[in-house]
Chain A
């Protein structure tokens, strides 16, 4: 039995890159762990996504046991995509709204707590609101920004021709002399649908290439250097009489002239008075901030939307990734410094977020490079980042002693995303999805506008999920059991082995039925079919929110050039332990039993995996 289990999570850490680097002795600390114990590729989940995979890690069950199948799910009453990780509930006007975690099942730290084994858990996904635990827990992916989404940044510009994308706000500003008066955009008022705002006054200091933001926030004067990220500004939005909500925001000054351009990150929860609790105990998030300084609290810390939309460049994104890594490292070092026994976990999300945005530089021919340019300087950005991760692992190893089980793992790997398949368009062309009379693909917007539900047999949303339009389940369901089976078979036959005519390559390897890959109490919530893409392919950008665009295959022109939502067999994670372990087909479901057993706590009946150390 161990006194301590220390787990360092490296989200999206790709085994092929890691193995090559270890072979070249470029990751000495990971190599050290490997030599002490072992290394293996780690089986991931259907589908290979952060919330799905880490929920399986936490509960030791397949997604049918915890109910998280994708970032998005659908409301069968409206067919509209809904956030799958958590939801807000307000039973009536007299009760305050509350957040409900949609990850069900029992995370293994609850079993540890029941046996009086303490845990320190930093930034675990799908624990919002935080799980009660003996010890401390800080929620990770799943914590929204102050507007309630995954993150809405704001772009301030004097250019009048800018249009806001769905995932951002654009504010047109005027420079008067050397001053700009504008506002930070905060949460939406659910009644009036207008935005709450916080006044800021910007003074441009051209000769020093900087601006000074003056406000009622904290600090009252904040300097932002050209091309740099600012420190945090604490802002307060008045949301009612004697009621206010606080948040924190960072700025990146893009340009002073000829046009003034300023980027503001999504407004993160502030730790002292978060809108909803983000830690257990509730005060822990602020206690941590008082020790290590303010930090990103939103689940998606890195502003990949800002880079994807071209609001800032790769250099600024790399800078931000370094800031996030430093924050996380400070958290880890502080907590490891006082960690004596039990379970310790710290997740670094940045390997995933960085690889999504820099994968295209590994492939000069990536379609994204034709639109955004190729810079060979960034071809090794992922490797450079992996070296930083290795240094962090080395730091964590300082807390390892003879009675410690030390684990480094990633939830999935990473691959190329060059071509997208318009899944709803394929369903339309093959007679499974119908549009209203006179409407053609490309004329139907997002959110299944113009879909004729009375004639539709199946529809796709999320990252490769297909739902059948079943009678008695969906609002306008038309399929009975027999017809549903025929539809399933038709889609499986048509999609499996689908070839991209432009490249002559197989885009879809197979289609999985939910009964084949999931089991458990939440099986009925799963998509009916899951599409397993080949390397280089994924669902198109129009598919997740229910778009039916023209054409089947499209080039991926976005800067987000790497992805992992393909056949899970192609994107395993990594697993390293400082003890010899069963290296044959280890999987994410095996981690919970392994950690529990190491700490002398039996697994529960729902857990599907087995102890890798026995």
Chain B
């Protein structure tokens, strides 16, 4: 019970303000803009991070193109 009371008291500053105006919305707008900016800047890294994480968790091999031998005698044979 004490825990809930303490948590509720911490939320005090986040409770909806009684007055809504530009100066009260500014912090919220800044936070949203920062989040959007972060995703825009690092979207590819984020996607890559989660893809890598997914592959690691599932135990899948790294997603790299197959290695091809520079000298491929089978094709030389095909041409003959």
State whether B65 touches A290 (Cβ < 8 A): yes
Contact mask A262-275 → B, CB, 8 Å, 1/0?
00000000010100
State whether A293 touches B70 (Cβ < 8 A): no
Chain B contact patch, size range: 10 to 19
Most buried by A among B41, B45, B63, B64: B64
Q: How far is the CA of A388 from the CA of B42 in the complex (A)?
A: 46
Residue of A nearest to B68 (CB): A293
Contact mask A293-305 → B, CB, 8 Å, 1/0?
1100000000000
Q: How far is the CA of A327 from the CA of B69 in the complex (A)?
A: 11
Contacts of A391 in B (CB 8 A): 78-79
Looking at the assembled complex, report how far the CB atom of B79 sits from the nearest CB atom of chain A, in whole angstroms.
4
State whether A388 touches B79 (Cβ < 8 A): yes
State whether B67 touches A273 (Cβ < 8 A): no
Whether a CB of chain A sits under 8 angstroms from the CB of B21 is: no
Contact residues of B: prevailing secondary structure = loop
Contact mask A319-332 → B, CB, 8 Å, 1/0?
00001001101100
Q: How far is the CA of A136 from the CA of B6 in the complex (A)?
A: 60
Whether a CB of chain A sits under 8 angstroms from the CB of B72 is: yes
B30-45 CB contacts (< 8 Å) to partner A: 41-42, 44-45
Contacts of A323 in B (CB 8 A): 70
Q: How far is the CA of A395 from the CA of B75 in the complex (A)?
A: 11
Binds B, one of A225-233, A355-363, A426-434, A521-529: A225-233
Contacts of A289 in B (CB 8 A): 65
Contacts of B78 in A (CB 8 A): 391, 395
Whether a CB of chain B sits under 8 angstroms from the CB of A292 is: yes
**What are 29 pairs between A and B in contact, CB < 8 Å?**
A218-B64, A228-B70, A228-B71, A230-B70, A231-B68, A231-B70, A242-B41, A242-B45, A271-B65, A273-B44, A289-B65, A291-B66, A292-B65, A292-B66, A293-B67, A293-B68, A294-B65, A294-B68, A323-B70, A326-B68, A326-B72, A326-B75, A327-B68, A329-B75, A330-B68, A387-B79, A391-B78, A391-B79, A395-B78
> 3 nearest interchain CB pairs?
A293-B68, A289-B65, A391-B79
Give 19 A-B pairs besides A231-B70, A242-B42, A327-B68 with Cβ atoms closer than 8 angstroms. Answer: A218-B64, A228-B70, A228-B71, A229-B70, A231-B67, A231-B69, A242-B45, A290-B66, A291-B66, A293-B66, A293-B68, A294-B65, A294-B68, A326-B68, A326-B72, A326-B75, A329-B75, A330-B68, A395-B78
